[in-house]
């Protein structure tokens, strides 16, 4: 069975400081606030805290959750190994990351694949981010 018209909507994860996450993802990847923090209290599986949603120019969204009932990282519902963002020019992005003191994995080496190029980094709160440039 083929299921059509399913697209990525957003990815949500726990952060230590929701305002710091908004600032960092805005500076590094150009995300803007879609749903501000504190608009609604998070009542997910009995958790308490706040959430927000940020969006980039392409409409891709990230949701941050900052729980107030448990300290980070015990506040996570699940473990996320990484998320991936598609970029137009990996060299330009790498230069931007270095300029902003972002921790690049494997000394910033770009992995060459037949159909894409990949750069891994460690973002805010230790979240691993995979950057892909399609050929």
Residues 63-112: tens digit of each pLDDT: 888 878 777 666 665 556 678 888 999 999 999 999 999 999 999 999 99
Overall pTM surpassing 0.85 (yes/no) = no
Report cis status (omega within 30 of 0) of the bond before 65: no
Alpha carbons 73 and 16: distance in angstroms, whole number: 8
Least confident of 13-27, 44-58, 95-109, 110-124: 44-58
* pLDDT value of residue 5: 64
Alpha carbons 13 and 94: distance in angstroms, whole number: 24
* pLDDT value of residue 83: 85
Q: Parallel, antiparallel, or unpaired for β 116-122 and 103-104?
A: antiparallel
Question: If you count them, how many residues does the chain have?
Answer: 135
Domains defined along the chain, listed by start:
8-79 (3.10.180.10), 81-135 (3.10.180.10)
Q: 88 with 96: CB under 8 angstroms?
A: no
At residue 21, does pLDDT exceed 90?
yes
CA dihedral 27, 28, 33, 34 (to 10 degrees): 160
Question: What average pLDDT is seen over the chain?
Answer: 83
- Beta-carbon contacts of 66 under 8 Å, excluding residues fewer than 6 positions away, are 14, 15, 16, 17, 18, 21, 37, 49, 50, 51, 72, 75
Question: Phi/psi of residue 8, each to 5°?
Answer: -65, 135
At residue 32, does pLDDT exceed 90?
yes
At residue 124, does pLDDT exceed 80?
yes
Q: Per-residue confidence at 45, pLDDT binned at 50, 70, 90? A: low
What's the average model confidence in pLDDT over 40-66?
Answer: 79
What's the average model confidence in pLDDT over 29-46?
Answer: 74
């Amino acid at each position: 069975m083929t299921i059509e018209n399913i697209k990525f909507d957003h990815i949500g994860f726990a952060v230590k400081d929701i305002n710091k996450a908004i600032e960092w993802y805005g500076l590094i990847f150009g995300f803007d606030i879609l749903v501000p923090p504190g608009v609604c209290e998070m009542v997910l599986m009995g958790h308490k805290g706040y959430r927000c949603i940020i969006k980039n120019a392409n409409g891709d969204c990230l949701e941050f959750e900052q729980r107030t009932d448990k300290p980070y990282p015990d506040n996570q519902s699940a473990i996320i190994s990484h998320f991936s963002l598609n970029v137009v020019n990996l060299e330009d992005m790498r230069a931007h990351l270095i300029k902003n003191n972002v921790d690049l994995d494997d000394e910033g080496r770009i992995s060459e694949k037949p159909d894409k190029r990949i750069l891994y980094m460690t973002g805010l709160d230790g979240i691993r981010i995979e950057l892909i440039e399609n050929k």
